[in-house]
Chains A and B, each alone.
Chain A
């Protein structure tokens, strides 16, 4: 993975000194809360319902064991013993004291981490495919380009006060596991006649006005990436709306102009910028690329006798491998999803002991590397098939071996009204209640892939617009109500879910979801027809009938 050199280290150290000074000026009263707010936000510090919250950047979701151990230490020392992984591949600490935050930032900097641009109306932490560098269907490692974008966007002097926040996601594989089409900018790397090219999607997003992003350029050469992004951002900075916070995201500008007109303006700006100053030297691209070279895999046969024997003898292990083990580009290796969705748990939460355990297992079995997924799980990207059984036992000892990756209880949920200042309704208890309804592992496996995503308000941090089943919490006359949406997806065939019927109370949700699932099971053509496939074949009518009666 990427390692800081003296320039990266100096920039982070200078930022900590600046933030220490800003905190001191806030505590002394020299800065008003209004003036301090965007400064702390730009460094990931939110004022939440009960306390300050610190959001730490995990660039493109990649972590090593030293970083995991440091996160565990921070959870133990400055928080209540846990952290929360987010849909932006970041981690949030919910209970730090403002006065401690500069010290926490020093702790992070010692392991090459920071909280820079994890909030605020700036270019946020860039997200990427969590199987980057491991997936068999990959054209190029998206982390190389994500790191290049991370550096270009860090303290960008022109784009630190955009109309609204700005999120970039990137994937380099055929399958889109990074939900790029529902980001402000989505980049999809492909090879065209052997040459790497980016497809550029601009103006997607969720929130109150969801859009799947239109494709505005399908053949961007990698050497033009930064100049083209600068043009995209400049057109937005100049023309994005600033009069209404709900209409300030780039999706509204792209929608108002039309994708063709936005693309034309970007193209004109791109040509005017030219390429000389923003074209990275080949040596710099090669320097960054070298950090993401494959680890020293052992030459292994594609099949492992030990692995097959363990599966035959240990049914619980075999079940876990069916859902949580994924194919790898290297023969004899696999990628493993560590579920942070134990039945009845808080989606995305990890305790300090669990973070330490993942660190140890990453070191022992995955070349010292772990990933955070936008679905709020962790991944060990490079595990030999021979080691899977030992790894599974290590995970199970820390309640990290729930065999539900991709299944109905692998639910995305935002923090909701339990933590968040913006929320209208709770999301976590709803996720817990649904997971408990489907606690039976055999039943979950029979149902197959089903992505439920829950948001506690219209801002859609829980991605309900792209859930196969989405659930949106709303406030109705002071009571929590939930709307059900069906048919969304966040992959390379991204689509927005549609609201069905009236809202219902939290108590009614698990039963409603169970009726939708029962309907699917009765109507599917075969076990290989997933819920989303059946929904697309049948349309909403049978599911609406199941929810609300004829």
Chain B
């Protein structure tokens, strides 16, 4: 079924990366050193390169630069778990903004594997999904927008409060409620 189809599309996915503007910490980054390798491209000896999980072993043997990985569905975070300590960047792909699998990928990277490096949202990355992406642990964005910095600024402060814990530092409303009562016990009556 779809698994094979999606596998074949992963190369095309790599080609679509960089269609937006790279945004990190709310600013456009113009000097991004990362190069995404197509599946059939030779692995260079130098440079910061990103590839699909299946080529990581080979790349670790051949390349002296920094390594990153592209996780595009149906590739899974478990496929790269053993390599994570050596990886400086994980790109998680949204083939369409309607495909929400990369949110889980990012949360597992941060919460289950404790990955501290850069997690970049690539593919169909739009303003209206940024808030959720930030909550799931993404920290850089290949953002498709007319004015990426303004879009990011709007999206990042869209909600003052949240209801559930995720990969970010935000406290869910239930924790804030308890803190409020702890801070002002006279209000609790």
Contacts and interface: CB of A to CB of B under 8 A. Distances in A.
B16 interface: no
Contacts of A283: 178, 181
Chain B interface, >50% SS class: helix
A162 B164 CA distance: 17
Contacts of A536: none
Nearest to A120: B98
Given A39-B128, A157-B136, A241-B2, A7 B161 contact: yes
Contacts of A281: 174-175, 178
B126 A14 contact: no
B177 interface: yes
B99 A242 contact: yes
Interface stretch (B30-38, B82-90, B115-123, B152-160): B152-160
A5 B107 CA distance: 29
Nearest to A156: B164
A375 to B, nearest CB: 30
Contacts of B166: 157-158
Given A39-B128, A281-B178, A241 B164 contact: no
Nearest to A287: B177
A257 interface: no
Contact of B128 (A22, A151, A159, A242): A22
A277 B100 contact: no
Most B CB within 10 A of own CB, among A22, A160, A244: A160
Nearest to B103: A158
A38 interface: yes
A109 to B, nearest CB: 14
A10 B163 CA distance: 11
Contact of B101 (A8, A238, A244, A277): A238
Given A7-B177, A8-B173, A277 B165 contact: yes
A152 B164 contact: yes
Interface string B93-131: 000011111011001000010000000000000101101
Interface string A3-23: 001011011001100100110
Nearest to B175: A281
Most B CB within 10 A of own CB, among A5, A22, A121, A155: A155
B2 A242 contact: yes
Interface residues of B, number: 41
A22 B161 CA distance: 20
Given A5-B177, A287-B177, A10 B160 contact: yes
B128 A237 contact: no
A154 interface: yes
B1 interface: yes
B178 A284 contact: yes
Nearest to A281: B178
Interface in B133-169: 133, 135-136, 146, 154, 158-166
A35 interface: yes
Given A8-B173, A281-B174, A238 B104 contact: yes
B50 to A, nearest CB: 22
A242 B74 CA distance: 11
Give the 10 A-B residue pairs with the shortest CB-CB distance, closest first. Answer: A161-B100, A243-B2, A157-B135, A157-B132, A7-B173, A284-B174, A151-B163, A158-B103, A277-B165, A14-B159
29 contacts: A10-B161, A14-B160, A15-B159, A18-B158, A35-B128, A38-B98, A121-B98, A151-B163, A151-B164, A151-B173, A154-B163, A155-B132, A155-B159, A157-B131, A157-B162, A158-B107, A159-B100, A159-B103, A161-B103, A237-B100, A238-B104, A242-B99, A242-B101, A243-B6, A277-B165, A283-B178, A283-B181, A284-B177, A284-B178
Given A7-B176, A155-B159, A161-B100, 17 more contacts: A7-B173, A10-B161, A14-B158, A121-B98, A152-B164, A154-B163, A155-B131, A155-B163, A156-B163, A157-B166, A159-B100, A160-B103, A160-B132, A161-B103, A237-B101, A243-B5, A281-B175
